[in-house]
Structure 1
Amino acid sequence: MKKIFFIAITLFAFSQAFSQELKMSAELKPRFEARHGFGTLASPEDDPALFVSQRTRLRFDFATEKYQFLVDVQNVGVWGDVSTLSKSDKNGTSFHQAWGMYHFSPKFAMKLGRQEISYDDQRILGAVDWAQQARSHDALLFKIKPGEKSQLDLGFALNANGETNFGEDYLVNQYKSLQYAWFHTNFSGNLGLSLLFLNNGMPYDKTENNNTKQKTTYSQTIGGRVTYKKDRLSLDGATYFQGGSTPNAAKDMTVDLSAYYLSANANFKLTDIFNLGAGFELLSGNDQDGDADKNNAFNPFYGTNHKFNGWMDYFYVGNHANNVGLFDVYVPFGVTKDKVGLKLIPHFFSANGTILKPGFEKADSYLGTEIDFQFSYKLVKDVMIIAGYSQMFATESMEIIKGGSKDEVNNWGWIMVTFKPTFFKKKFDEPKG
């Protein structure tokens, strides 16, 4: 806390002399959860998990005409994960974001440091704000405005364990290097188009002549997303293709990657209060009786995957990679009235690839149905209470790929309070003389 206080005093003093704007804000997000079948099916001997997690953030935004600077200090933990007499937190305090952006001109800027990278609906690149720790990248971005209605971002990341004199294996379970290009344009007030190219470099161990060395293999994600809005109707659709290669499970060789993704959504505001939608996602997968030397499973990589395919996180939230894929059909329904919000979303899940029973007989592709419900209420401007309940009605095929029991009551309930105060936001004149 002494470091946080020192940062605040330093930035405030600096702002008095040089800045044009300084903002200091915070976030507190405690969340109680009751889990029994969250992420995977429960077994008869499993008891429900009960806990309270909490995110605490303190954020400083500083801006002048030529550059911006942001520091986002974060602590994440679970109530009781250390003794009441402990001198320090289990996870300590970290920087969720710490970046600077310099504007060479109104149409060209450079942004570098630890930062959230989020685009479009966050399917491939997102901030994962639901997770208490969220996601941020150490990266360099070039931000270009080709026109008034267009934006081009070029991103680059190179990861290492630390400072070394010679090359060493990268031991963190994530990409070694990453490059991407994202372009967005609005053709009119109603129609928008985004295009993405992502080159993802993953480390793997290669053994040759009894000598093992780490190498990097690259996969490419290419695709785009279209949006359309008019009056009470909004439509969107996306398609992505993946190629290149990925490490196999043993990480001593690579396999060719050939995968695809399709989605389409329609939402209609029936009245000022009621909203109804329908949509689907199709992510290619591997057949359980298929060729092990090929990978046909689409990976959404660094997206906000909790937002998609049911809130119980059965798919693509640290799981389901290189599995049988997914076909998800959903019909969201929402109500918003003054300070109250309600959401109800049923999901109907099927596998895209072949599932085999223990006797190598093909199983039904239908995996189950999940019902998600959420209630929100804004207490005041900066304080909101949100609660939810979800239940999974699984099938035998879900048991095959997930384990556990479909006959157990697989559900999840939670309640969360968020505080997002802004302590001060003030503009200062540049000093004269």
Structure 2
Amino acid sequence: MKLLKTISFSVLGLISASTYAQEFNADIQIRPRYEYTNGFGTLLTPTTEHTSFIGQRSRVNLNYGDSKLKVKVALQNLRTWGDRNTIPKSDVNGVAIYEGWAQYSFTDKWSTKIGRQVLSYDNQRILGGLDWANQGRSHDAALITYKDSKNQLDLGFVLNADNENKVAPSTPYNTDHKNMQYAWYHTNANKVGLSFLAMNVGRDYLKAPAEIETNYNQTLGTYITYKGKKVALDFSFYGQTGKIGTNKVSAYNASANATFALSSKVKATLGYEFLSGKDQNDLSTDVKSFNPLFGTNHAFNGFMDYFYVGNHAGSVGLQDVSLKLDFPIKKVNLSLTPHLFYAPNKVFAGPVEKDAYLGTEVDLTAAYKLYKDVVVVAGYSQMFGSSTMETLKGGIAGTTNNWAWVMVNINPQIFSSKK
């Protein structure tokens, strides 16, 4: 604490000669989460058993701002309890930069933001912060933003490299993408919010020995919301085209949700999402399976992460029908969501085509504010898989496949100063 205050006052001292109003604050997040996994992500097999562990995020956020300049540095350490002994000489993950960016305002409407930053838009289906994962998701990017009272336009640019090579590398860039450009526009009109996204992503591939080429695929779409007193609606549609390697891309995603206020405290949300896929007997090289790219995929299609969380890419797609109920019991906020999953494309067990029904998942979460800076959240989920799910993912649907977790989020502000 003394060290942090010393750093804070030193920073303020360096900028004290400025005539701008200045603000500096710091907060800490300690977030341990216990998980019991028993068929999480995929069905249990005869040789797999349940396990449990505790993962923890420890993060420090440092924020500076004046009328023209904003700067943020977020440092974090990730650990699994017990991954080091009680007298370690080093840490497995050490301390990493989660965010490190600066934003400068040219005028009251135009600004630019450069550095490691979270890119999060709309419902986070395509670009999201992935806060559920302890590591989160952030990008090395440059942004140009226009913003007024009703409109916002973001132009984003990403250029990635493995290291500071002085000559062209002989192998493809080995992470998400080589470069990315996107434009996101949002406007509000009365109770309606309207967003448009156009994104171009370049990925390296080995065209021939020692010959690397970058091909591009595009994601184009819209997200629309309506917020009334008792009814809220949202709709999205995204299409994907271009190339991944030498393969043509033709895929799409559509979703719709309707939320009804049944009382002042109880809400019900009926939802449907379609993600295109590919028949298992389709021998074409075209990419027909939609990819949610950099979204917060844990928030969609069930919390047990059977779909699109490091899996199900290039597969038969998905239809998800859900009904979410939000209601309080005393000081505990509860959410209950059953999902019905279907494959929109053909699944085969040998020559036999399987039924489209994949299974039903039920998610229950409970949140309780223990203290002004302490929130306890817990959840239980169970997957009732079908024989088609067995064919698609392996494992045994007839066993009990479930997941339970408890997370404590401690997030106090520890320092704040204005000059």
TM over 0.5: yes
Measured against aligned partners, the alpha-carbon deviations of 1:28-54 in whole angstroms (never above 9, x if no partner) come to 100000001101111122121110000
Question: Is structure 2 residue 405 aligned with structure 1 residue 404?
Answer: no
* Cα contact 2:297–2:308 (8 A) shared by 1: yes
Q: Which amino acid aligns with 1:152?
A: L
Pair 77,327 (structure 1): closer, same or farther in 2 beyond 3 Å = same
Which position in structure 2 is the counterpart of 1:215? 213
Deviations 1:313-372 (A, max 9, x none): 000011111110000000000113663210000000001111111x22111111000000
Aligned residue runs from structure 1 range 129-208, under 5 A: 129-145=131-147, 147-168=148-169, 169-188=171-190, 190-207=191-208
Matched with 1:242 is 240
Aligned positions of 1:243-258 closer than 5 A: 243-247=241-245, 254-258=246-250
Partner of 2:102: 100
User: Structure 1, residues 230-279: CA drift from partner, whole Å, max 9, x if none?
Assistant: 112100000010000113xxxxxx21110111100001111122111101
Aligned partners of 1:341, 1:186: CA distance in 2, in Å?
A: 30
Contact 2:383 2:402 in 1 (8 A): yes
Residue aligned with 2:404, SS: strand
Which residue identity is paired with 1:96?
Answer: Y
What is the rounded CA distance, in whole Å, between the counterparts of 1:369 and 1:178 in structure 2? Answer: 36
Q: Distance in 2 between matches of 1:171 and 1:245?
A: 16
Q: Which residue of 2 aligns with 1:367?
A: 358
> What secondary structure sits across from 1:397 in the alignment?
helix
SS of residue matched to 1:306: helix
Q: 1:229 aligns to what?
A: 227
> Where does residue 53 of structure 1 map in the other structure?
55
Residue identity opposite 1:73 in structure 2: L
Code of the aligned partner of 2:213: K
CA distance in 2, matches of 1:275, 1:75: 37
Give the secondary-structure state (helix, strand or coil) at the position aligned to 1:166.
coil
What whole-Å deviation, never above 9, does each CA across 1:360-385 have from its counterpart, x for those lacking one?
Answer: 21111110000000011000111000
Number of equivalences: 416
Alpha-carbon distance change, 45 to 9 in structure 1, aligned in 2, over 3 angstroms: farther
Query: Distance between the aligned counterparts of 1:17 and 1:182, measured in 2?
Result: 37
The answer as to whether partners of 2:255 and 2:273 remain within 8 angstroms in 1 is: yes
Find the aligned partners of 1:257 and 1:407 in 2 and give their Cα distance: 36
Take 1:349 and 1:265, find their aligned partners in 2: how far apart are those partners? 16
**Cα shift at 1:12:** 4.4
Instruction: Tell me the SS of whatever aligns to 2:35.
Output: strand
What amino acid is aligned across from residue 227 of structure 1 in structure 2?
T
For 1:164, what is the secondary structure of its paired residue?
A: coil
* Partner secondary structure for residue 331 of structure 1: strand
Conservation of the 8 A alpha-carbon contact between 2:172 and 2:205: no
- Matched with 2:11 is 11
Instruction: Determine what percentage of the aligned residue pairs are the same residue.
Output: 44
Label 1:399 to 1:166 Cα distance change in 2 as closer, same or farther (>3 A).
same
Shift of 1:3: 9.7
Return 5+ residue gaps in structure 2 as ranges: none
Match for 1:292 among 247, 259, 284? 284
The one-letter amino acid of 2:412's match is P
State the Cα distance separating 1:412 from its structure 2 match: 0.4
Aligned residues of 1:355 and 1:365 also touching (Cα < 8 A): yes
Q: 2:327 pairs with 335, 345, 349, which one?
A: 335
Q: Distance in 1 between matches of 2:6 and 2:213?
A: 42
Amino acid at match of 1:34: Y
Partner of 1:251: none
Q: C-alpha displacement at 1:4, in angstroms?
A: 7.2
Q: Are positions 1:394 and 2:385 aligned together?
A: yes
Question: 1:273–1:404: structure 2 CA closer, same or farther, 3 Å change rule?
Answer: same
Q: How far, CA to CA, are the matches of 1:373 and 1:322 in structure 2?
A: 29
Q: In the alignment, is the contact (CA less than 8 A) between 2:34 and 2:406 conserved in 1?
A: yes
Q: How does 1:418-429 map to 2 (within 5 A)?
A: 418-428=409-419
Partner Cα separation in structure 2 for residue 28 and residue 367 of structure 1: 37
The answer to whether the aligner puts 1:260 opposite 2:252 as a matched pair is yes
SS of structure 2 residue aligned to 1:310: coil
Q: Secondary structure at the match of 2:106?
A: strand
Structure 1 residues 66 and 330, CA, compared in 2 at 3 Å: closer, same or farther? same
Provide structure 1 residue ranges, at least 5 long, that are not aligned to the other structure.
248-253, 429-433
In structure 2, the partner of 1:431 is: none
Contact (CA 8 Å) 2:29, 2:411: kept in 1 or not? yes
Give the AA of the match of 2:206: D
Q: Which of residues 113, 118, 121 in structure 2 aligns to 1:119?
A: 121
Cα 1:264–1:13 shift into 2, 3 Å: same
Q: 1:44 to 1:8 in 2, by over 3 A?
A: farther
CA RMSD, 1 decimal? 1.7
Corresponding residue for 1:250? none
Match of 2:112 among 107, 110, 134: 110
1:315 alignment partner, SS class: coil
Alpha-carbon distance change, 5 to 301 in structure 1, aligned in 2, over 3 angstroms = farther
Q: Secondary structure at the match of 1:398?
A: helix
